[in-house]
Amino acid sequence: MKFLCTRCDEVMKLAGAQASEDTVGLTFSCPKCGGSFAMLTNPSETSLVKGLGVQVGGRSEPAPLMEVIQASVERDAEGQIAWDQGAETRLGNVPPFARPMARKAIERFAASKGIRVITPAVMDEARALM
Amino acid sequence: MRMYHDVAGDGGSDIIGQVGKMMERLAGRLSTIKSVIAVASPKGGVGKSTVAAHLAASLARRGARVGALDTDLYGSSLPRLLAPEFAGANAVRGDDGLIPIAGAHGVRVMSLDYLTGYGARASVAWAGATSSITRGPVETSALRELLADTQWGELDYLIVDTPPSVGRLGDVTALIPSLAGVALVTTPTQLSYQVTLKSIERVRALGVPLLGLIENMRGFMCAQCGAPNPVNVEADMGETLSLMGVPPLGALPYDQRLLKPAGEAGPIEAVERIADNLLARIGEHASARA
């Protein structure tokens, strides 16, 4: 995209960029009259552009390794959620090959509810909703 | 007021330049790989990843330098089949990319599992990319990065295991124009054949060599007497495939050894025959191109 100052017919220059978690704010200014505006991208467009692996405003350094993957993949909550003894014992009833996935599913449920410690009651609650 | 083409440049992002650099990086990486082979199937559950893993191990056992890339972003199987001892491991950074995990017989394995920290814990979820519109570009970029940002080194063969459906195959062929070919996997059931035959035209439309068809789960070997038993064989498609110009690469019976990780299974005669046929077909296509 290119931006023209409607007063001066001058190409506006990128003056600054600010990124939040899912949107970007770009400031453009007219080199002639100094007029400026901010373009605020919506989350869907921002996600689409990020997904392509290109950087708005250009790139002066080579892209970091696995940039899109590292930026896009949802982070694991491992280590942030504790399991009490009763919950661990109950998880032991799940066959070993399925245990990591069951653990992850319960942790996701707990994270979505802001629960920090998983107990058998939390497991019941999760199971009821699954 | 001036219009877009009246103003020089592209607005400052140099998107074309950025994409060009991505593709340069990818081309540089692929330049050290002699043959990339995609293992694909339009149908799930036909044992495609098992076939891919055992083929990779077979080639490596012969002394070839082999890589294996799992492009099934949501259901990676190669880590468990080729390097079970590294389940949950994270790939570490080398001089020139992420170092693949050393699997069976030295097969260099890369999967999204080695980047997410999830290991076998859960399937991948993309933050913010929840719709198919936003998820598509992320998936394609992830595939490009797994290819381009992995320090594969010199390889004789890179086996690319694709997810069910030949949709991802389009991404693979777009990213790897030099693809040596596609090996399709099916089971000997009418349903699987019906879907597989449909996909043959799709593979041809992509302009990549169809190396042939592998029939998996074709009967089983009797554990008592060793005789083949044709259970599950609903379809004998030899004549049809011949008419369609699809060479058979071989058949795999149910075999307990195929359930083991590829590094523990030892040589399996049927796999070895398929690997022989695959290499012969790659040679034929390379000669035809030369």
Q: Which of B138, B144, B147, B171 to mutate to test the interface with A (most CBs of A within 10 A)?
A: B138
ipTM at complex level: 0.85
Phi, psi of B67 (to 5 degrees): -115, 160
B153: left (phi over 0), alpha (psi -120 to 50) or beta: left
- The owner of tokens 């307990």 is B256
Q: Is the pLDDT of residue A117 over 70?
A: yes
Chain segment A25-46, per-residue pLDDT in tens: 889 999 999 999 999 988 888 8
Kindly report the pTM of this predicted structure. Answer: 0.83
> How distant is the Cα of A68 from the closest Cα of chain B, in angstroms?
6
Contact A91, A83 (CB under 8 A): yes
* Percent of chain A's residues with pLDDT above 70: 94
Residues in chain B, pLDDT under 70: 117-123, 128-130, 232, 235
Q: Do B131 and A44 touch (CB under 8 A)?
A: yes
Q: Please report the pLDDT score of residue A128 as a whole number.
A: 85
B141·A68 Cβ contact <8 A: yes
Residue owning tokens 């991505």: B22
pLDDT of residue B26: 96
pLDDT of B152 reads 97
Structure tokens at B66: 């082999």
Best-predicted range by mean pLDDT among A18-22, A43-47, A100-104, B71-75? B71-75
Q: Which residues of B touch A22 (CB under 8 A)?
A: 128
Give the model's pLDDT for residue B104: 95
pLDDT of A100 above 80: no
Return the pLDDT at B188: 87
SS (H, E, C) A18-37: EECCCCEEEEEECCCCCCEE
Contacts of A77 in chain B (CB under 8 A): none
Burial tier of A62 (Cβ tally within 10 Å: 0-12, 13-18, 19+): exposed
- Residue ranges of A 2-61 with Cβ closer than 8 A to chain B: 2-4, 6, 9, 11, 13-14, 21-22, 43-44, 46-48, 50-59
From chain B, pick out residues whose CB is under 8 angstroms from the CB of A65: 93, 97-98, 145, 149
Q: How far apart are CA A14 and CA A28, in angstroms?
A: 5
- Give me the percent of chain B exceeding a pLDDT of 90: 51
Among A41, A42, A47, A59, most B C-beta atoms within 10 A, so best to mutate, is A47
Which residues in chain B touch residue A52, judged by CB atoms under 8 angstroms apart?
A: 137, 141
Can you give the pLDDT at residue B94?
Answer: 93
Q: Are A100 and B121 in contact (CB under 8 A)?
A: yes
Chain A residues touching residue B119 (CB < 8 angstroms): 100
- Closest-approach residue (CA) in chain B for A57: B13
Tell me how far apart the alpha carbons of residues B19 and B17 are, in angstroms, rounded to a whole number. Answer: 5
**Cα–Cα distance between B134 and A65 in angstroms, integer?**
21
CA B104 – CA B78 distance, rounded (Å):
11
Mean local confidence (pLDDT), A113-124: 90
Q: Taking CB atoms and an 8 Å limit, are B145 and A48 in contact across chains?
A: no
Residue A79 banded pLDDT, cuts 50, 70, 90: low
Non-local (6+) Cβ contacts of B223 within 8 A are: B256
